[in-house]
Chains A and B, each alone.
Chain A
Amino acid sequence: MMVSQSELVREARENGMDLLPLDKDTYELFFGPQHMATENFSIILKMDGHRVVKAIANPGFLHRGFEKLAEYRPWHTNIALLLRICVPEPDVPEAIYSMATEEILGWEIPERAQWIRTTVLEMARVSAYLFWIMGLSFKLGVYTAGQWAAAYRERLMALFEQLTGARVYHIYTIPGGVRRDIPNDRWLRQLKDTVEYIKGKLPDFDHLVFENYITFRRMEGIGVMDKKFALAEGVTGPNIRATGVPYDVRRADPYLLYPELDFEVPVLKDGDALARALVRRYELEQDLYILEQLVEMGPPGGPYKVEDPRLKNLPRFKVPAGDAFAHVESTKGDFGAYVVSDGKNKPYRVQIRGPSIAHGIRVLEQLLVGARIADVPVILMSLDNCPPDIDR
């Protein structure tokens, strides 16, 4: 039984299934959410042949309303909720929420807690960068490097598990310090070994991905943005450093132990996908260097959280009225939290500023125009778009 082409088209049209040609030569293409490159994020593309004419970002597949839920839960319970905003590095939302709460309370956290928090944040950064290398190399077709990156990340996951008891969602940083102490000295030695091990493996990544001719040709000159455009669009993190602006929250608005640590802020000028990838590669090296310094410094003695009678009864824990803004540098950019309290045992309003809301919507829509369909995943990956922190 043969069915002619025109008959199929007629049948499809009757059932409302045809593609609806938009104009003369263009058609509509849904990119995601069921796609390997987008993590539950959708882009609607208007295509002319294999060139993108217009792109509309469609977020919201991961929206759970954290900002509303946080108003219904006590201060400390919110930690277990808000960390789900940034899945690759869940320590960042914990840290900003705790820092903002401490600023309202006027607490100064002990030195040991500061050391532990800095270490955890840097470990989260390294694991997020390894995760990103894995994603990028899978999108470029360099599968070996992806397998390696995932395997090395597992070493950090094991360390997290010993420290906090969980692999992915640690629920570790709380207002006033951290939830528990470093298990033993063996953990510190393991951290040192892991850092050395990953550092020794960086040349392998360079050979396969970052010095590879194919990678260069694949990423050079696509998704270019200049300094002025990036500043106007509020882009932060490695993406703005790839356009020549040396903005790093760890240097510009120092928190925890960062003023005492020695590290460089890598800056490149080109602003294309390759520059963004290379900036991230240099940052991974710097983060490992910071971890080395921290291990060498060693955790200072003393308590690991604030000693306060209010911390004995957490459901009735109250925070005086006030508001505060705190932000840290995540691998995606400037991650901020604005917390308002009205003196009750629950926050009045929590607003999380994910960095991807700046570079994942408007910037992406404008960078995609004129790109080929094969470059769309690469641009998306080079921006390091993280949908959950757009949706919250």
Chain B
Amino acid sequence: MVDWRLFEPLFEFARRKSLWIVAFCTGCGGIEMPPLMTSRYDLERFGMMPNPAPRMADLFLITGYVTPKTLKRIIITYELQPDPKYVMAHGSCPLNGGVYWDAYNAIKHLDKYIPVDVIIAGCMPRPEAVMDGINKIMEMIEKGTADGWKRYKENYEYYRKNQDELFGEGWREKEARRWIPWLMDRKKEE
């Protein structure tokens, strides 16, 4: 039996060099992703690329403010990702609300609901700032300090409690069935 933990530094090195991003524009920061991905800032030289499927992705970029309706999808997408997974929040809004500090429909502290590894401040952060954040998360991966996915497992009750407080119990099931009556071509009695 091989103890795979011996090879962990090698794995961390490999993970650092091939971060795939979930393609999920959750807010206005999404407009800076195409310049980052294309020829001017060219993130692909770091081995990063956007990927449509969360099952194959390592890095989740929360690009901008988060509304409760999006947060449900963010949590589901985050839980679909395989371990190890890293979250980078983009801009002031997921950090503390930003300009939406008194808005009735924007999440104020994202790290109450899912663990966040790196937060880039600014509205909106320049592509250079995003690249700096990515550099930071690569360093953290190599040192093994980007442990948000471990924290999510260890403190699952805490995160689950906050999520349920915001959305109400059983929101996942409710969300999955919400549109069926409207697709059925029948009235809502069903």
- Tell me if chain B binds chain A: yes
Interface residues of A, dominant DSSP: mixed
B173 & A81 in contact (Cβ 8 Å cutoff)? no
Contact with A along B1-36 (1 / 0, CB 8 A): 000000000000000000000111111101110110
B100-121 interface bits toward A, Cβ cutoff 8 Å, 1 = contact, 0 = none: 1011111000000000000000
User: Is the pair A63, B69 in contact by a Cβ cutoff of 8 Å?
Assistant: yes
Mask: chain A, 141-169; 1 = CB below 8 Å from B; 0 = not: 00000110011011001000000000111
- State whether B28 touches A388 (Cβ < 8 A): yes
Task: Give bound CA distance, A154 to B50, whole Å.
Answer: 20
Digit string of A18-60 for contact with B (CB within 8 Å is 1, else 0)? 0010110000100001111001100010100000001010101
Known: A54-B183, A68-B104, A87-B28. A80 touches B99 (CB 8 A): yes
Cross-chain contact A46 with B183 (CB below 8 angstroms): yes
CB-based contact A69/B179 at 8 Å: no
User: Contact partner of B52 among A36, A62, A146, CB < 8 A?
Assistant: A36
Among candidates A33, A39, A84, A168, residue contacting B32 with C-beta atoms closer than 8 Å: A168
CB-CB under 8 A from B162, the residues of chain A are none
| A16 interface contact, C-beta 8 A | yes
Q: From known contacts A20-B180, A64-B106, A168-B124, infer whether A153 and B99 are also in contact, taking CB-CB under 8 Å.
A: no
Contact between B77 and A56 (Cβ–Cβ < 8 Å)?
A: no
Q: Closest chain A residue to B170 by CB distance? A: A16
- CB of A191 to closest CB in B, whole Å: 19
A147/B179 contact (C-beta < 8 A), A87-B31, A167-B126 known: no
Contact B183 A16 (CB under 8 A): no
Chain A 287-314, CB-CB to B under 8 Å as 1, else 0, gives: 0000000000000000000000000000
Say how far B181's CB is from chain A's closest CB, in angstroms: 10
Closest to A81 in B: B99
B24 touches A134 (CB 8 A): no
Q: What are the residues of chain B within 8 A of A81 when measuring CB–CB?
A: 99
Interface residues on A, range: 35 or more
Q: Which residue of B lies closest to A46 (CB)?
A: B183
The contact of B67 among A34, A54, A63, by CB within 8 Å, is A63
Q: Which residues of B contact A157 (CB under 8 A)?
A: 35
Of listed A34, A61, A131, A151, residue having the most chain B CB within 10 A: A34
B38 touches A150 (CB 8 A): yes
Q: Tell me whether B155 is interfacial, beta carbon within 8 Å.
A: no
* CA gap between A47 and B95 in the complex, in Å: 39
Are the C-beta atoms of B52 and A147 separated by less than 8 Å? no
- In the complex, the answer to whether A36 meets B70 with C-beta atoms within 8 Å is no
Identity of the chain B residue whose Cβ is nearest the Cβ of A391 in the assembled complex: B67
A126-B159 Cα distance, complex, nearest whole Å: 44
Q: Which residues of A contact B27 (CB under 8 A)?
A: 40, 62
Q: Name the one of A16, A22, A46, A84 contacting B176, with C-beta atoms under 8 angstroms.
A: A16
A88 interface residue (CB < 8 Å to B): yes
CB pair B34 A64 closer than 8 Å: no
CA distance A62 to B31 in the complex (A): 14
Give the residues in chain B near A22, CB-CB below 8 Å.
Answer: 180, 183-184
Given contact pairs A20-B180, A68-B103, A169-B123, enumerate 12 new A-B contacts (beta carbons under 8 Å): A22-B180, A28-B179, A33-B24, A33-B70, A56-B182, A60-B67, A61-B26, A61-B67, A63-B69, A150-B37, A167-B124, A168-B32
Binding site for B on A (CB under 8 A): 16, 20, 22-23, 28, 33-36, 39-40, 44, 46, 54, 56, 58, 60-65, 68-69, 72, 80-81, 84, 87-88, 131, 134, 146-147, 150-151, 153-154, 157, 167-169, 388
> Could you list some 20 contacts between A and B, CB below 8 A?
A22-B180, A22-B184, A28-B179, A33-B70, A34-B23, A40-B24, A44-B179, A44-B183, A56-B182, A63-B105, A69-B103, A87-B28, A134-B38, A146-B38, A150-B39, A151-B38, A154-B35, A157-B35, A167-B126, A168-B32
